[in-house]
Amino acid sequence: MALAFDEYGRPFIILKEQDQKTRLRGIDAQKANISAGKAVARILRTSLGPKGMDKILQSPDGDVTITNDGATILEQMDVDNQIAKLMVELSRSQDYEIGDGTTGVVVMAGALLEQAERLLERGIHPIRIAEGYEMASRIAVEHLEHISQKFDFGTTNIEPLVQTCMTTLSSKIVNRCKRHLAEISVKAVLSVADLERKDVNLDMIKVEGKVGGKLEDTELIYGITVDKDMSHPQMPKQIEDAKIAILTCPFEPPKPKTKHKVDIDTVEKFQTLRLQEQKYFDDMVQKCKDVGATLVICQWGFDDEANHLLMHRNLPAVRWVGGVELELIAIATGGRIVPRFQELTPEKLGRAGLVREKSFGTTKDKMLYIEHCANSRAVTIFIRGGNKMMIEETKRSIHDALCVARNLIRNNSIVYGGGSAEISCSIAVEAGADKYPGVEQYAIRAFADALDSVPMALAENSGLQPIETLSAVKSQQIKENNPHYGIDCNDAGTNDMQQQDVFETLIGKQQQILLATQVVKMILKIDDVISPSDY
Amino acid sequence: MAIERILKDDASEEKGERARTASFVGAIAITDLVKTTLGPKGMDKILQSTGRGQEVTVTNDGATILKSLHIDNPAAKVLIDISKVQDDEVGDGTTSVVVLAGELLREAEKLVAAKIHPMTIISGYRIAAECARNALLQRVVDNKENAEKFKSDLMKIAKTTLSSKILSQDKEHFAQLAVDAVMRLKGSTNLEAIQIIKKPGGSLKDSFLDEGFILDKKIGLGQPKRIENAKILVANTAMDTDKVKIYGARVRVDSMSKVAEIEGAEKEKMREKVQKIIAHGINCFVNRQLIYNFPEELFADAGVLAIEHADFDGIERLALVTGGEIASTFDNPESVKLGHCKLIEEIMIGEDKLIHFSGVEMGQACTIVLRGASHHMLDEAERSLHDALCVLSQTVNDTRVVLGGGWPEMVMAKAVDELARQTPGKKSHAIEAFSRSLVAIPTIIADNAGLDSADLVAQLRAEHHKEGCNAGIDVISGSVGDMAELGISESFKVKQAVLLSATEAAEMILRVDEIITCAPRKREDRM
């Protein structure tokens, strides 16, 4: 720890409890940070691409997650190092923004850090490296724009969308039936998409899973499923042309929020209260019945008596439905959520063609399907699978696929996958480097090298000779001036990604490069790490 | 400069080869654990719980064994999970699915050691599983049309399932019980309607199927013990103090006489309620909640049989059986549906008194009364019977049936072997391995029965080389026999679920190349 002394030789105390803190500065701090970032990237590197491997993550409570989704791995890894946390953030922001390519962005950042380390050793100032990276990323992003292609799809021609989703799904464990799942995802997105505004509200797509059955049984339901059953076992299990009252008030005696006490001191009061209570239940059910509802969905519980009255008046009801589900039901059926019985009117009822209860397996598992809704925009993807981890992983994969489809609807530019875009960018950046005078030129070249690391990792994971394959593809791209050549991970026999139908979205790729560069810049600018030492 | 640690204290990370070895070892250890329970001559396990009382369970049900284990190995957890799902979904084959997945991993380990990439193994396994399923599909027997034959199929399946359990001595008897019970369901898979009551005493043979409904409750004092042509009201209502539910209401009085008044009013209220209930014209009242002495007395006076505190399942089942509805308000008696039955009486099983409802309206429900020497015995008998019931009810829905005794495995293995020979590339090794894993199941069955597995399986393989062969292992005589003649059958749905989930689980474990374990959450010290 460096200390400052005054003219009499007494040390200044600058930091509180200075001797208990560890401090790293200058080049040491940068190197430590870089090595931490690299360590995180190394963990994810093997998960990249269609032949990437999975990781088992055991949580503090002993639950097991098996996944190869970069964001999920990092999220659950229980990271302690500050720089490693930055990398976790990086992957998360890619997940929020784009939803896919979470592994790729971390691998890219790791490669950039690795290159930066070499430059630092040569004595180049970190800020200069950061600036060089910035320029290079601009070149790369522009180049991506240049090589991207527009592609057409419509509600009738969904094939291109399905292909893109398949590329995303092929790196997951579900690639056995990727075609099926990709079609489901695309149909789901299209049914909620607003093609004119080019916007997709992914909240309208609910992904539900239930253990059991096979992956192939996964289905798209044009409606909503609720993991609940009818409040009374003897209510009808199937309702056609249902008119649904969506309530957020309990079928219970009122509980005024202000503090109050009702004192009973005479027999008469006791009697009146009793009658009032009975009438109260009766009124509630009557109101629902009066507006013509044939199904009541309620966020709260029912009193036993109310429950029986509902059953008695032949009004099926569902209780304890979660807030999010309630909202979805309201959107799907075109109903309004009613907070008070007094406000029930026939216009506020939702409509659905069919509501049915379905049971699964040998245990008493029941789900409620609400189908043929008035507003068919809300859909549910219902996943079946052999075990809980499989379902969880499928959910994550579907999420990725949904995001990709949404991105394409927002912006229908694509670049080709299989590392071809990175290779092409690398070539462009390399060529652009010579135009820049000064030290930045080195940083730009380093950036080009870092871009190569993604296809390199792809080749490695696919069991190919990484250096050999990469150089072959690179020279092929330059020779034929065709940016569509990439790594042939699936052993399909051709390098041309256009023929293999491997696409990725343009914004996804651009975002990857920009985010990775940003984080690396941030890490490079740190030259002092002060942390409390372990006590 | 040393690399700083990335993960938190106590978190561990295992990579590449070591991670793979860890998961293989874990999965194979689990397989070896349950392996010995497979087949008709499989052995049981004693499980002692760590909780209070150190309860002991004796079982050979794979799912039950695995559920009770405390496992730390993540790969082993995957296997336990598939066994649980198998239990939920089809109810039987919980051991087989774990054994098959374990064998698949054991073969995969050898392939990985021979430098074949896990991804190649996975794609080989996938092709093989598809092929095995198709092979099995071609050989299924479907007797949906022929009710007589179908019933005998069910009987065979029940016997096969039960023969590996503690009930195997009386499998004839129990198979008949199970089939009768499931046939009454008429195609629904709602096993709720079948009630199993366990009463220690007597022998397993004394177990019987009762067509009516038995409620494990006593009849209130001074009330009729026997009612013919009973009208039953099934209710879920408070019969203790019927309190005012309006929030914040409380009784506050300033003199003793007022207390007495209010008490009187309360009593009056209860009396009214009882009157209303009796006004339904019933002679039996079953409530889910407690009935206090006062209303009970009132019921006794009116000659109504009142049964209190029937549990929730009991109530629902009773409502289902008698065709009544569960009531909570009693203001309009004309529209409440009452349940009916011909006779209610108190019966004695062993030393306990139970209430027996016979001649009920709905024919679906029934009760199986299990008798046995000890609690452990009864628990195990219940699990076995549950397995059989699950399988049967699933078979009623999916009527396809295959033979048992290792026959399906051999059929699949043969088809998969054939495929391996036609597949070019490294995948064929994986496909071959898949067939070896399938053959491992008959091998284990034979081993567990103390037979010469190598010899038997070789014979079996030779037999299966002929077209349309029905050969399987006959454990009783210790030789290869004709499964069709011996009447050993299994449900296709179970076999298919075993095959698919085992492959899925094996695939999942194979794909892993890194295990990151977080630090266990620190328990709060309660001292």
ipTM of the complex: 0.72
Determine, for residues A304 and B393 on separate chains, whether the beta-carbon distance falls below 8 Å.
no
**pLDDT tens string A96-133:** 888 788 888 999 999 999 999 999 988 888 889 999 99
List CB contacts (< 8 A) between B330 and chain A. none
Q: What is the model's pLDDT at position B241?
A: 63
pLDDT tens readout for residues B454-471 = 888 888 888 888 877 888
Residue B522 has pLDDT above 70, yes or no: no
Residue with the two structure tokens 């039953």: B232
Rounded (10°) CA dihedral A491, A496, A498, A501: 0
Among chain A residues, the shortest Cα distance to B23 is held by A56
- CB distance B193 to B320 below 8 Å: yes
Stated as kind and residue range, the H or E segment containing A521 is helix A506-524
Q: Which residue of A has its CA nearest to B246?
A: A253
Q: What does the DSSP 8-state code read for residue A502?
A: -
Name the residue in chain A with its Cα closest to that of B123. Answer: A176
Could you tell me if A331 and A223 are in contact, meaning their C-beta atoms sit under 8 angstroms apart?
A: no
Both tokens of residue B63? Answer: 């799912």
pLDDT at B527 over 50: no
| The predicted structure's pLDDT at residue A502 | 81
pLDDT the model gives residue A534? 57
Measure the CA–CA gap between B8 and B521, rounded to whole angstroms.
12
Question: Are A32 and B1 contacting, i.e. CB atoms less than 8 angstroms apart?
Answer: yes
Q: How confident is the model over B152-177, as a mean pLDDT?
A: 82
CB proximity list for B231: less than 8 A, separation 6 or greater: B280, B281, B282, B283, B284, B338, B339, B340
Which residues of A are designated catalytic?
69, 102-103, 400
Q: A28: which 2 tokens?
A: 């040491």
Distance CA B177, CA A265 (A): 61
A51 contacts B119? CB cut-off 8 A: yes
Q: Of A514 and B364, which is predicted with more confidence?
A: A514
* pLDDT tens, residue by residue, A256-290: 666 677 777 777 777 787 778 778 778 888 888 88
Give this prediction's pTM: 0.79
Any catalytic annotation for residue B95? yes
The minimum CA-CA distance between A264 and chain B, rounded to whole Å, is 5
Phi, psi (rounded to 5 degrees) for A193? -75, 145
Q: Looking at A374-434, which runs of residues are DSSP E strands? A: 379-385, 413-416
CA distance A451 to chain B (A): 24
pLDDT band at B431 (very low <50, low <70, confident <90, very high): very high
Chain A positions touching B185 (Cβ under 8 A) are none
B403 to chain A nearest CA, in Å?
Answer: 22
Q: Which of A64, A171, A260, A281 to mutate to test the interface with B (most CBs of B within 10 A)?
A: A64
Say what the pLDDT of residue A399 is. 87
Average model confidence (pLDDT) for chain B?
80
Question: Which band of pLDDT confidence, cut at 50, 70 and 90, is reported for residue B353?
Answer: confident
Residues of B in Cβ contact (< 8 Å) with A252: 245
Residue B309, pLDDT above cutoff 80: no
Instruction: Provide the pairing of β-strand A193-194 with A337-338.
Output: unpaired
Q: Are A166 and A180 in contact (CB under 8 A)?
A: no
pLDDT tens, residue by residue, B384-419: 888 888 888 888 878 888 888 888 888 899 999 999
Q: What helix, strand, coil percent values describe chain B, rounded to 5? A: 50, 20, 30
**What per-residue confidence (pLDDT) applies to B2?**
41
State which residues of chain A have pLDDT below 70. 1-3, 13-21, 155, 212-213, 254-259, 360-365, 376, 386, 533-535
B189: pLDDT strictly greater than 90 = no
Q: What is the reported pLDDT for A425? A: 92
**DSSP one-letter code for A243:** E
Q: Would the pLDDT of B221 be above 70?
A: no
Calpha distance A316→A336 (Å, rounded): 18
- Inform me whether the pLDDT recorded for B526 exceeds 50: no
Residue of B nearest to A274 (CA): B244
pLDDT in tens, A392-411: 888 888 888 888 888 888 88
Distance from the B90 Cα atom to the nearest Cα atom in chain A, whole angstroms = 6
What are the Cα distances from residue A174, in Å, to A169, A438, B64, B514? 7, 49, 29, 19
Q: Are B277 and B325 in contact (CB under 8 A)?
A: no
Count Cβ atoms below 10 Å from residue B152 Cβ, excluding itself.
15
Q: What pLDDT does A487 receive?
A: 85
Residue B333: its pLDDT value, please? 67
Residue A164, sorted as left (phi over 0), alpha (psi -120 to 50) or beta, turns out to be: alpha
Instruction: For residue A444, give the 3-state DSSP assignment.
Output: helix
Partner residue opposite B505 with nearest CB, options A176, A274, A387:
A387
